[in-house]
Amino acid sequence: MASFFIDTDTGQVATLRQLDEAGVVQLGAPPPPWFPIQGTRDAITMWYAVMRKPVRDKYIGALCIRHSDHHASLMEKGWEEVSVEEIRATRCTPAR
């Protein structure tokens, strides 16, 4: 179970735990450009899809139940599903 964050500059997605382990979290939350993805805080990727979409010069994120009408609607509107393998805090993630 996890809460997810998106780097609004790059589109990278990570869990709060991954960001904490990478030393990015400050005072209980990661600083900008990391932004929480709105949704349940106990989501698991078995049931939920993590979605992202570039809008102007930033990325936005969403959580939705896999294979739902909402998931299909987001896909039709140009959202991309983030694979489980992509969800991580990389070493190049700077602590800002």
- Which pLDDT belongs to residue 95? 44
What is d(CA 35, CA 76) in angstroms, rounded to the nearest whole number? 24
- Which pLDDT belongs to residue 1? 63
- In the chain, what are the domain boundaries? 4-86
- Which pLDDT belongs to residue 83? 96
- Which pLDDT belongs to residue 96? 43
pLDDT per residue of the chain (96 residues) written in tens, 0 to 9: 689 999 999 999 999 999 999 999 999 999 999 999 998 777 888 999 999 999 999 999 999 999 999 999 999 999 999 999 999 997 554 444
What is d(CA 12, CA 65) in angstroms, rounded to the nearest whole number? 20
What is d(CA 7, CA 31) in angstroms, rounded to the nearest whole number? 10
